[in-house]
Amino acid sequence: FLFFFSYPLVQNVTVTEGGTANLTCRVEYNDNTSLQWSNPAQQTLFFGDKKALRDNRIELVRASWSELTISISDVSLSDEGMYTCSLFTMPVRTAKAYLTVLGVPEKPEIDGLTKPAKEGDHITLTCMTQGSKPAADLRWFRNEKEVKGAKEVNASGKTFTVRSSLQLHVDRNDDGVAYTCRVDHVALAQAPQQATEVLEVHYAPHVEIIHSLAVPQEGQYLKLECVSKGNPSPDPVMWTKDGGELPDLDRMIVEGRELTFTSLNKTDNGTYRCEATNHLGTSSAEYVLYVYDPNALGQHSTDHALIGGVVAVVVFVTLCLIIVLGRYLARHKGTYLTNEAKGADDAPDADTAIINAEGNHAHAEEKKEYFI
Ordered domains of the chain (ranges, CATH): 8-102 (2.60.40.10), 109-199 (2.60.40.10), 204-289 (2.60.40.10)
- Region of residue 244 (phi > 0: left; psi between -120 and 50: alpha; otherwise: beta): beta
Asked if the model's pLDDT at residue 4 lies above 80, the reply is no
- Region of residue 309 (phi > 0: left; psi between -120 and 50: alpha; otherwise: beta): alpha
What does the DSSP assignment read for 268-307?
G-EEEEEEEEETTEEEEEEEEE-PBPHHHHHHHHHHHHHH
pLDDT value at position 306? 57
- H/E stretch holding 326 reads helix 294-345
Omega within 30 of 0 (cis) for the link into 294: no
Average pLDDT of 143-161? 95
Give whichever of 61-65, 300-304, 364-368 has the largest mean pLDDT.
Answer: 61-65
Ranges 4-18, 65-79, 211-225: which has the least confidence: 4-18
Single-letter amino acid, residue 323: I
Backbone angles phi, psi at 13, to 5 degrees: -130, 135
3-state DSSP assignment of residue 175:
coil
Are β-strands 193-198 and 145-147 bridged in parallel, bridged antiparallel, or unpaired? unpaired
Ranges 112-121, 153-162, 169-178, 311-320: which has the least confidence: 311-320
pLDDT tens digits, residue range 283-301?
A: 999 999 999 998 876 544 4
- In whole angstroms, what is the distance from residue 261 CA to residue 248 CA? 10
- In whole angstroms, what is the distance from residue 246 CA to residue 23 CA? 88
Backbone angles phi, psi at 91, to 5 degrees: -80, 170
pLDDT tens digits, residue range 55-93?
A: 999 999 999 989 999 999 999 999 999 999 999 888 899
Share of the chain above pLDDT 70, in %: 84
Compute the residue count for the chain.
372
With a threshold of 0.75, does the pTM exceed it? no
- In whole angstroms, what is the distance from residue 42 CA to residue 52 CA? 12
